[in-house]
Amino acid sequence: MTAAPVLVPILGDQLSPGLSSLADRSPADTVVLMMEVAEETGYVRHHQAKLVLVLSAMRHFAAELRAAGWTVDYVALDDPGNSGSFTGEVARAVARHGARGVQVTEPGEWRVREAIESWRDSLGVRVRILPDTRFLCPLPDFFAWAAGRRELRMEYFYRDMRRRTGLLMEGDKPVGGRWNFDVENRGAAPADLVPPAPPAFAPDAITREVQALVAARFAGHFGTAERFAWPVTAAAAERALDHFLTERLPLFGRYQDAMLAGQDTMYHALLAPALNLGLLDPLAVCRRAEAEWRAGRVPIEAAEGFIRQIIGWREYIRGMYWLEMPGLAAANHLEATRPLPEFWWTGETPMRCLAECVRTTRDNAYAHHIQRLMVLGNFALLAGLRPQEVADWFLAVYADAYEWVELPNVAGMALHADGGRLASKPYAASGAYIDRMSDYCGSCHYKVKQKTGPEACPFNALYWHFLARNEAKLAGNARLFQPYATWRRMGPDKQADYLASAEAFLATLKPARPGWARAAG
């Protein structure tokens, strides 16, 4: 390398060879900087498997870049002199390489964006921040879509994304004559259904080294580093995609909302960790799903349902994050203040549905969408858990969790903490919903059909307690007209019975000790 190089920092969730910061660079005058730093491994106490995933995928990606001819300066967590932050490491690398400028793809998180903006003043060289073109909807386009709309509903955004990408379109019309086949996607699963085993990717030498590092350095974090089978390279993620398309996608739609005890993954894709790291390209993934439908191998409700999750929900969530930050992180429209219960970490609760969701989360750093939304999220909503504590938990425990995608899902979709910007009504449900969509209730300590009293399913009384205590804020919501009408028809005795039952249950909740999700102090 002759002239002063440009430094290209690549962050841990930017593991894509087509990254915008690399696109106009050549290996001849570029140094790629990758940094394992304490600030990122520690901003929440990540699940051990998530740490293994991110650090191992980073190390594999660095090796691939080197093999492709790039100069990669890789700072490992244990390197002497590691300053512990992106800002510190970029400053050190600028000096080390005599860099003439820094070029970086915009980060996924607000916190990191703020740090990168500060480099413009602190580094003394030119800093270019480029858009993240791995997302299909550029942020300015999302902001333009949102501007002037009273309601920012995902469904309308999704239709625009179908037109923009041409996915599942015949000219300007949706294939099959409908945009959305969601009503076909609400099947309960028969108890003897056996979904295919998820693909397991055996750890190689790099991953094993990271597992040892994580086990030694992050031993007190949730979960374990030993049980690890996520793909950590683009090639392995492709194999995970192949498995999904052939083994899971055909029934993905039908059982998308179903839950069975011990069946931790059902027919879900298990692709969010790889997508969010950049190991898979979202558009290419959707094109492969569309091709399966066009070849007649999967039904339309499966292909459409899956593509909607990616070009619809995933893109919309990301747009909403940047639209609503920084306020979203502190949002608490329903003024919920209850601390996170300890059983969210231990799994020790007689509520079978919650015990099962915490267990799969601990074992796999994974729970599927309905477990996250309608069991964990629904409980947090009904029990009035403080949104920031719930968000910290979700950010820490899942292999696919980054704030840009976790926070709008938690604060917006699950907790209504944003006052309904993201979802037109709270996703609140009693035990009957969980009973309909799962086999959990049959072996639960509580009785799902019983409404009140110590043996009754706690979701039943909590549901009415939630509506009653939030009446001033929610009764005007047209989509809640029916439940409020039912509540008012009940009469004072029945209402009091529900409220007393809920209060008695809430009084039993033991708060988690501080320090599970964020280092205490």
Nearest to 500 by CA among 453, 445, 447, 448: 453
| 279 interacts with ligand SF4 by CB under 6 A | no
Judged by CB, which is closer to ligand SF4: 344, or 459?
459
| 382 interacts with ligand SF4 by CB under 6 A | no
Segment holding 94, helix H or strand E:
helix 86-97
Q: Is 170 left (phi over 0), alpha (psi -120 to 50) or beta?
A: beta
Residue 127, binding choice from ligand SF4, ligand DLZ, ligand FAD, none, Cβ under 5 to 8 Å by partner class? none
Residue 35, binding choice from ligand SF4, ligand FAD, ligand DLZ, none, Cβ under 5 to 8 Å by partner class? ligand DLZ
Judged by CB, which is closer to ligand SF4: 207, or 371?
371
Judged by CB, which is closer to ligand DLZ: 217, or 369?
217
Output the CA torsion sign for 165, 171, 173, 177.
negative
Residues 306-335 that bind ligand FAD (CB under 6 A): 306, 309-310, 313-314, 317
**What is the Cα–Cα distance from 263 to 161, expressed in whole angstroms?**
33
| 276 interacts with ligand FAD by CB under 6 A | yes
Residue 108, binding choice from ligand DLZ, ligand SF4, ligand FAD, none, Cβ under 5 to 8 Å by partner class? ligand DLZ
The CA-based angle 361-362-365, given to 5 degrees, is 55
DSSP helix/strand/coil, 202: coil
Q: Give the one residue of 46, 60, 162, 368 binding ligand FAD; rule: CB under 6 A.
A: 368
Q: Give the one residue of 70, 142, 366, 402 binding ligand DLZ; rule: CB under 6 A.
A: 402
**Which residues are within 8 A (CB) of 135 and not within 5 positions of it... i.e. 6 or more apart?**
282, 315, 318
**What is the Cα–Cα distance from 254 to 272, expressed in whole angstroms?**
20
Residue 344, binding choice from ligand SF4, ligand FAD, ligand DLZ, none, Cβ under 5 to 8 Å by partner class? none
The two structure tokens encoding residue 8: 């290209």
Residues 411-440 that bind ligand SF4 (CB under 6 A): 431, 434-435, 440
Judged by CB, which is closer to ligand DLZ: 70, or 440?
70
Between the alpha carbon of residue 503 and those of residues 347, 452, 458, the distances in Å are 21, 11, 10
Residue 270, binding choice from ligand SF4, ligand FAD, ligand DLZ, none, Cβ under 5 to 8 Å by partner class? ligand FAD
Judged by CB, which is closer to ligand DLZ: 37, or 249?
37
Q: Is the peptide bond before 326 cis (omega within 30 degrees of 0)?
A: yes
Q: Are 417 and 411 in contact (CB under 8 A)?
A: yes
Amino acid identity of residue 60, one-letter, is H
Q: Give the binding site for ligand FAD (CB under 6 A).
A: 268-272, 275-276, 306, 309-310, 313-314, 317, 368-369, 372-373, 377, 394, 398, 400-401, 405-406, 409-410, 413-414
